[in-house]
Amino acid sequence: LSFFFPFQLAALERQVFDFLGYQWAPILANFLHIIIVILGLFGTIQYRPRYIVVYAIWTAIWVTWNIFIICFYLEVGGLSKDSELLTFNISRHQSWWSENGPGCVRKEASMSGIKGLDNHSYISVIGCALEYRYIEVMHSSFQILIALVGFVYACYVVSVFTEEEDSFDFIGGFDPFPLYHVNEKPTNLLFKQTYLLISPTGFSGLERMNK
């Protein structure tokens, strides 16, 4: 059961940083992922193979989603990391790591003197040891890795549960000897006893039967 705990921790860590960056699409995807991981854990505890199958199917979807995130930040196939796709075009927020990455220094410069921007400030980020898009790519790559491990583990657990159910259903099914043996007297012996009881000899019949 502790196998699922690293998955939950990784999903929660990803959710926290996506919340800080107001990345609504990843937030929704992470929320569904956490629910499915809990469902897989419940299926393992309660011996529900169907729940684990749902988790296995979701891992394939989760891998696909993280591949898309990698393509998004690497700007593959016409995608742009500066677009508002991950925020549903609601805001212009970017990844939290874009301003808070390792070594990053955030500076604000007043926009006074520029018409219409007097109350705004320009934010610049310098000195980052690693560009934020590569941090997001590493996050997604790690999620893909643990999802593949989870898929293999889910298939193994389902196969074990299925074998246990099959062995339970057929216990004693091929046993040549019954579990309970009942001694039954032949039908002709029962008729013989009845004949002796109702024979005219009366007690002599009983005596012979007792012998």
Q: Using one digit for the tens of pLDDT, what is the confidence trace for 14-67?
A: 999 999 999 999 999 999 999 999 999 999 888 889 999 999 999 999 999 999
Give pLDDT, residue 140.
96
Residue 1: predicted pLDDT = 55
Domain boundaries, the chain: 7-74, 132-172
Specify the pLDDT at position 71.
97
- Local confidence band at 5 (pLDDT 50, 70, 90 cut-offs): confident
Whether the CB-CB separation of 158 and 52 falls below 8 Å is answered with: yes
Q: Convert the pLDDT of each residue in 95-141 to its tens digit.
A: 999 989 998 988 876 655 555 544 556 678 888 899 999 999 999 99
Say whether pLDDT at 179 is over 60.
no
Q: What pLDDT is stored for residue 144 in this prediction? A: 96
| Model confidence, pTM | 0.72
Look at residue 112 in the predicted model and tell me its pLDDT: 57
What is the per-residue pLDDT across 130-152, written as a single tens digit (0 to 9) for each? Answer: 999 999 999 999 999 999 999 99
